[in-house]
Chain A
Amino acid sequence: MTAVIETDGLGKRYRKLWALAGCTLSIPAGHVVGLVGPNGAGKTTLINLATGMLAPTTGTIEVLGGRPASGPAQLARVGYLAQDAPVYAGLPVADHLRLGAHLNPGWDAEMTRHRIDQLDLDPGQKAGKLSGGQRAQLALTLALGKRPELLILDEPVASLDPLARREFLQDLMETVAEQQVSVVLSSHLISDLERVCDYVIVLVDSRVRIAGPVDELLATHHVLSGPRRHLATLPAGLKVISASHTEVQSTLLVRTSGAILDPAWTVSEVGLEDLALAYMKQATGRGHRHRHLEVQK
């Protein structure tokens, strides 16, 4: 299977600040990819590079094997939903669909009408009068209308209340099951993504800290707790991601492909949220120069 997004040494600089640096990724098709990281980590920059709204300063990016936004054919293959689900407040729901049909050659009118029915949206209602959850689902319908192979969603649930958030993700997962579309979605809340993503990218301070299939990441990371000892005495092949110590005890998050046989350690599983947080904590120890870039959007 070809990669949906492939980058090599990708970077984007605003004056002296790197919003994204040294980003090398190869995301296989058929996944729901979670792009996580604190605000200002570079998530939106990576998304804007993938949609072709920004040009890279360094390196290369290919989306579905082509250069982002390089022509009508490329544009037709990628659906994009910007932060805060932008819609035309003064236009009724039905006019959004007509607009979509005029602007997109491969528009699936039947599917979009069916979705609007299912979501119980009134076609005559002006988009500005919709609730936040309804607006997000109208925007998602527009992004899906052109039948994209890849759907890119920037913080799709950040502004939704918990119920609307759940409904949006339910709807999105049903769509993934039906249409087999690859999805990349960003969030600063890992808990939102834990159930829906099977591939995750942790971005902190403009760099990719870790990326891979969720199953593989969870299988190769373990929490060890045991009597306090020097990290130097750990067996080779263990990579310590985070460590905390009391006078008598050490607790470590480690990455390893093998089993941990030393009986002094109690080994337990780690969840996706704790894993991602450990990588974020590790990264913030290295300076805060790039942290306030979100204002650049």
Chain B
Amino acid sequence: MIEFHLDGRSGVAPYMQLIHQVRHALRLGLLRMGDQLPKVKDVAAGLAINPNTVLKAYRELEYEGLVAARPGVGTFVTGTLDGGSLAAHGPLRRDLQRWLAKARRAGLDDESIQALFLSTFRSASEDVEGTGRWAG
């Protein structure tokens, strides 16, 4: 069983944070097929959040085919996100570490590195989507 937490200053809507945490746990293999998600009542009580927020997150995950609700029993993992990609993490991480070392040698500080990564990541994903929806 995983435990949710909320970052009040992240600016990300609470239901999205719950979705991210489930996806994250699926990617890292912390949640596997058949595992149960925390009960809505327990999440609401634990985090002092509206039960509708939890339901909304679970419904979205259900829509994505990652979980399924069994009425009166709970919500269970039915999908997986690792897709065998866990094996690819190692080499990619090493590439990234080499790139980070290069960025530091070029004189970039932490913030510049993060900004460069984020802006490149965004323009790359926009290219993939084909349209830049938001200006800026």
Of residues A31, A198, A261, which shows the largest number of chain B Cβ atoms within 10 Å of its Cβ? A198
Query: Quick check: is B136 within 8 A (CB to CB) of the other chain?
Result: yes
Asked if B50 contacts A198 (CB within 8 A), the reply is: yes
Chain A interface residue count, CB cutoff 8 Å, equals: 31
Taking beta carbons and an 8 Å cutoff, which residues of A are in contact with B?
Answer: 30-32, 166, 169-174, 176-178, 194-198, 215, 218, 259-267, 269, 271
- CB-CB under 8 A from A174, the residues of chain B are 41, 44-45
Complex CA distance for A291 and B111, rounded to whole angstroms: 45
B residues with a Cβ closer than 8 A to A are 6, 8, 11, 13-14, 40-41, 44-53, 133-136
Chain B positions within 8 Å of A172 at CB level: 48
Q: A173-B48, A195-B49, A195-B53 are in contact. List 17 more A-B contacts (CB 8 A).
A: A30-B52, A166-B48, A173-B45, A173-B50, A173-B51, A174-B45, A177-B40, A177-B45, A177-B51, A195-B8, A196-B48, A215-B13, A259-B133, A260-B134, A260-B135, A263-B135, A263-B136
Residue of B nearest to A165 (CB): B48
Q: How far is the CA of A171 from the CA of B41 in the complex (A)?
A: 10
* Among candidates A176, A196, A265, A269, residue contacting B135 with C-beta atoms closer than 8 Å: A265
- Given contacts A173-B44, A195-B6, whether A262 and B51 have CB atoms under 8 Å apart is no
Question: Which B residues lie within 8 Å of A194 (CB)?
Answer: 8
Given A32-B50, A170-B46, A174-B41: A271 in contact with B11 (beta carbons within 8 A)? yes
Asked if residues B41 and A177 are in contact (CB atoms below 8 Å), the reply is yes
- Bound-state CA distance A262–B45 (Å) is 43
A-B CB contact pairs (8 Å), 13 listed = A170-B47, A171-B45, A173-B44, A173-B48, A174-B41, A176-B50, A176-B51, A177-B45, A195-B8, A195-B14, A196-B49, A260-B135, A267-B136
Across the two chains, which residue of chain B brings its CB closest to A272?
B13
CA distance A170 to B49 in the complex (A): 7
Chain A residues, CB < 8 A from B40: 177
Q: Which B residue's beta carbon lies closest to that of A262?
A: B135
Q: Is the CB of A269 within 8 A of B11?
A: yes
Interface contact B44-A177, CB-CB below 8 Å: yes
Closest to B40 in A: A177
Residue of A nearest to B6 (CB): A195
Q: How far is the CB of A248 from chain B (nearest CB, A)?
A: 17
In angstroms, Cα B48 to Cα A32, docked, is 12
The residue of chain B having its C-beta at the shortest distance from the C-beta of A170 within the complex is: B48
